[in-house]
Amino acid sequence: MARVEQIVGFLRTCYIREVWKMDEQGATLALDYFRRQVHGPAFADEDEDAAAYHQALEFFRSHGQSLDWIHDGNPVGMICGLAKVSPRAGVLAANRVSVDPILAAIETHQIASADYSAAICDVVPGTLDPDPIKEELFGDREAEARGELATSVPTTLAGLLHLLTYVEEVSDGKYSASGRRDNSFDRDDLLNVIISAQDCVKGRNESRHRSPTNRNRSSGQYCRVCRSADRAR
């Protein structure tokens, strides 16, 4: 509770940047949730608790705060998060993208996949089940990154090799905590990878990314039929 109050206080009073303004309503909802967890009154049921927790998570997410720090006092996420947006990281990312943007897409999915694996391993106390809110949140992020990766066209043959190798390694369980095969790249994802590989080989770099209008907004993934139709034209 003290860390939540500290975060809200700093975001409200400290200089962040020009035109910065904290979301006061979101801060109030986040504070109210944690105060009720500590001091009561208890929520009416699990659904009410989950809805309030989701609102608190949204405040922290939109303001770039670390859940590891909030819940456990673990500063690793904050340290690594700042390093991610540091000038050093920017230089490295620019150099990597200038070679082939598929490399950055691979890294993004690798991070999202690791975050999702960690989320589903973090079980709710007294149960064998993961936190459903975290599972959905990080699962959606992994699906988004996977869809972006599968529908991105490498600009070099070296990048194409990296993509195919990475997909094979994921499927073989190289990045799985259990070491077992990982079927996160489903049939549609693999079909999109094949289409992207064909586009790369044919030199169709102008179709590097699918238009946002071709996205399946209900699932957060890309519409495979639209991609096939684009190729047919």
Domain boundary residue, one of 57, 84, 111: 84
Tell me the residue range of the domain where 79 lies: 2-84
At 123, is the secondary structure helix, strand, or coil?
strand
Q: Which of 24, 51, 84 is the last residue of a domain?
A: 84
Mean pLDDT within 190-216: 69
CB 90 within 8 A of CB 130: no
- 125, 155 in Cβ contact below 8 A? no
What is the model's pLDDT at position 84?
Answer: 81
Question: Considering its fold, how many domains does the chain have in total?
Answer: 2
CA 42 to chain centre: 31
Q: What is the pLDDT of residue 181?
A: 87
Quote the tokens at residue 179: 């070491």
- For residue 163, pLDDT over 90 is answered with yes
Mean pLDDT of 125-144: 90
Residue 123 has φ and ψ, to the nearest 5°, of: -80, 155
CA distance 36 to 112: 31
- Domain final position from 32, 65, 84: 84
Ranking 156-165, 171-180, 205-214 by mean pLDDT, the lowest is: 205-214
Asked if 80 and 91 sit in the same domain, the reply is no
The answer to whether 143 touches 151, Cβ cutoff 8 Å, is no
Same domain, 172 and 210: yes
How does the average pLDDT of the chain come out, rounded?
A: 83
* pLDDT value of residue 51: 93
Q: Say what the pTM is.
A: 0.50
When pLDDT is cut at 50, 70 and 90, the band that residue 225 belongs to is very low
Separation of alpha carbons 215 and 218, rounded Å? 9
Q: Which of 130-134, 174-178, 200-204 ranks highest by mean pLDDT? A: 130-134
